[in-house]
Structure 1
Amino acid sequence: MSITARHCLSKIFQPITATSKNSKITRQQVTSKSQRLMLELGIIQQSIPGCFHLLPLGVKSLDKLIKIIDNEMFKIGGQKVLFPTLTNSKLWNESGRLKEVGTELFQLQDRHNHHYILSPTHEEVASEMLSILAPLSYRNFPLKLYQISSKFRDEIKPRFGLMRGREFIMKDMYSFDTDIESAKKTYEEVCNSYENIFNTIGIGYAKVLGSSGSMGGSLSHEYQFKAPIGEDNVLYCSSCQYSANIEVCEDHQKCPNCGDEKNINIQCGIEVGHTFLLGDKYSKPLKSTFIAKDSKPEVLQMGSYGLGISRILAASVEVLSSETEMRWPSVLAPYNVIILPPKKGSAESLQTEGMPEKLYSNLEEKIPGLKNNILMDDRTSLTLGKRLLDAKRVGYQFTIIINKKSAEENPLFELIDIKNNKQLYLSKEALCDYIQQNFRI
């Protein structure tokens, strides 16, 4: 069979380099292991401070995450839209946020002296759109609109690579309901969907009570990955299972819920998602209304729900990786299997000619989930040892090595499973069975 170029490692743009040799960023500016590994292993490259090129392997991982999110949003009736990045600043002035968070905004004006911002979020835009379409009937609600797009924040000190940048990719949903009780039900529905997303990713997380801050509203929850590098401090009570960002706790020495002082634990966390029950904070000043059953106009009740898409990628790598080797959640890994043929010109390469391609085809046929998830390391001018080292560092779960045992009468393939820390020699049938049993997508 012929393997397409996009599944041959030699054809993939993956500039592996040492951070210290990168002209754009120095080793001293690298402040997290995920940032360093993603830079060195060609997943990202810095453009300017706080802005990064997402390279092919990074985009492949991103696409997998977006697919997971799209599937969950579809299940709860979410409809995908795309709002303009450029927002008229008067909308933020009407909501009151322009003055409140103005220093964090990228602001600009056009040749006609009209003022705009590069949006970090779109509560005002979504509200204004519905106000323009008003009057809408109560029958049009609940309405759940979401997008996945680039957002902008003028960070004073960008750090941790994709985890705190000036440009980032975010999934943001805006819900509209006809009354606060319906809005609460929608809020719980989206929160459950978020939990499904994080359970699918497979990294331990905590849903904690959060501060509404400048977003406003009556209820807020954060989704946190536990990590030493995390910038949030999260209080956990093992007595009643209460958890909250310490920003909302008056006393950090005891549980705000049950009063226990002995079973309190404070850990660092990386915020990867945030939900807000907004009420009419934005819909009222921006005149987002609907026609109720009594034919009178009423103000819509809103919810806002964010997921840091690019942050989730980096935070996942941060939580799972060692200092020298990158690791991915199985469902987000750019590729799950990599095949290493023998070195060109070796006796094994002549004895196993055609075998790598047949194995590739057999794995895709037997395990449908591996479609587009197998990579052939066709850089056969390099030694197996060099290519194996690269495979371990990039973090492919399954590395299949074709060597002299593969050339025997009863061929065996060396399999390295880095997730389960196993090295095995298996027949083609046993190899397929093992990967199928241990593969999660």
Structure 2
Amino acid sequence: MSPSSLRTAARLSRVKVSPILALSQRARDLVAEGRDIIDLTVGEPDFDTPGDIKAAAKSAIDRGETKYTALNGDPRLLSAIARRMADRGVFTADSATIACSGAKQVISHALEALLEPEEEVLLPAPYWTSYADMVRLKGGVPVTAPGRYDPAFGWRLDAASIEAAITPRTRWLILNTPNNPTGAGATEAELAAVADVLRRNPHVWLLCDDIYEDLVYEAPPRPFLRLHPDLADRALLVNGASKAYAMTGWRIGWGVGPTPLIAAMSSIQSQTTSAPCSISQAAALAALTGPQSEVERMRETFRARRDLLVALLDKIPGMSCPLPDGAFYAFPRVDGLIGARTMKGQVLHSDVDVSTYLLDSAGVATVPGSVFGGPGHLRLSFAARTELLTESCARIAAACAAVLDAPAPV
């Protein structure tokens, strides 16, 4: 078949390659050209997978655990997930749990299981950029519910905005706390307000993306269903091993929800990947049931990096950065730089321009907030060594000073 005869599905015209991955690739391309680039775009722990987890995977290979597992996942892993949930105040059966090839696949299966063409999925903004395109891939319509910006605390979950965006065609609400890109963790009062919205709108299902649940710095995890168990019959909790255990490449995620939903997701899984990788499941089992000291060490390291990065960003003219509650992202506001002019005479009209300017002039790769539905901001990952964060802020500060001190055009 010649390239000219290829006709892709019409829905693909509405879907873009992840802009975060595209920006990261551009940073790698510049490095390959010999540029000195610090890449703060990708949300991936810079730690190695803990040794006991890798050892468990090697042992599984040696035992010959290289065949298909049960469709929903190895029963031992499902039981470990259920015990983990019970420890956090959410009680579920193994039959209400599914293991998939990453948390992203859990979300994909859930959307596909319930979403009819042109039905809507609510995304409180700012939101992880992949949600919108995943919805479009399933034939749905992503709908933004803008958050509320607080100068002291950054972006907050706004239940009134969520309720105002609900229509008879709304099928899912995706709630991500701690949030990517802002790092903001919803308060119990904010979650209670969302729960009341859901009670008034019984046709709306809730998907809680809790992938950063173990990377919360000032408060213990707040699983939504521990606080509001009456909504368990239309809520799916999504989590995985990638972030807390530095296992992004192992591709193991899980979902906990009503048994009929899990059964529908299992049917989809049976016709896609079948079960997830048996070796990765053995590693995830060791992660959940073994010592948690490495998780604590990573969390404390991220906390120290967060405090350093936010303090440095807050000193940069034109920027202000609230302290994130969790995850490993800072989301500074950069509206003090928008409208400024570079030494070359270029006007920075948007956060995209600011991000591009910092990459080209300072060699620091960031993600513009507009791709997350949060224009006027940048996302910087602090999943990087302290010295890189310090150097990045020094470069950014110099680049911003040059912009703000640029002479007016003659």
Structure 1 and Structure 2 fold alike (TM over 0.5): no
More helix by share: 2
TM-score (norm 1): 0.21
If the length of structure 2 is used for normalisation, what is the TM-score?
0.22
State the structure with bigger RCO (CA 8 A, min sep 6), 1 or 2: 2
Q: Which one has a larger percent strand, Structure 1 or Structure 2?
A: 1
Q: Which has the larger radius of gyration?
A: 1
